[in-house]
């Protein structure tokens, strides 16, 4: 009748959608990917990717594997992988990312830090 909560979710599957015309206030914590087409106020912590669509917006601090931004985000971002800002995307806040891609027309206001990934075979101190 109920799913086993101990089963690991696929971080590549989107299991959370905040639809257009919806406002969500509170913290989102997900083991899978999240897509925002509406408005979110509150932090987002995601093991997968976070996608903010063209009409989506968030006032959030975001921690995720990857972030795809086509809408507007106000808050700090920490992604292990890639932050992609599309031409319609706007980030107002600081970021830490493995890599950063800003397409022509995309807006970024803040400071950035590139996360250093250890090279293969490198010894840890």
| Whole-structure pTM value | 0.82
If you search the block for the tokens 């319609």, which residue do you land on?
Answer: 88
The b-or-e profile of 7-23 (16+ CB within 10 A means b, else e) is: eeeebeebebebeeeee
CA–CA distance, 114 with 106 (Å, rounded to integer): 18
pLDDT digits (tens), the chain, 125 positions: 444 454 555 555 557 889 999 999 999 999 999 999 999 999 999 999 999 999 999 999 999 999 999 999 999 999 999 999 999 999 999 999 999 999 999 999 999 998 765 555 555 44
Look at residues 103, 8, 93 and name the one whose alpha carbon lies nearest to residue 43: 93
Q: Radius of gyration (Cα) for the chain, nearest Å?
A: 15
The residue ranges of every structural domain in the chain are 21-110
């Amino acid at each position: 009748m109920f799913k086993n909560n101990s089963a690991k979710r696929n971080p590549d599957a989107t299991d959370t959608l905040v639809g257009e015309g919806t406002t969500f206030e509170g913290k989102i914590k997900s083991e899978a990917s999240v897509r925002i087409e509406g408005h979110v106020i509150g932090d987002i912590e995601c093991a997968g990717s976070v996608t903010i669509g063209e009409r989506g917006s968030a006032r959030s601090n975001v921690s995720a594997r990857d972030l795809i931004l086509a809408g507007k985000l106000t808050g700090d971002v920490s992604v292990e992988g890639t932050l992609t800002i599309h031409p319609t995307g706007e980030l107002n806040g600081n970021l830490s990312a493995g890599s950063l891609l800003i397409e022509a027309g995309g807006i970024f206001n803040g400071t950035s830090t590139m996360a250093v990934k250890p090279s293969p075979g490198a010894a840890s101190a």
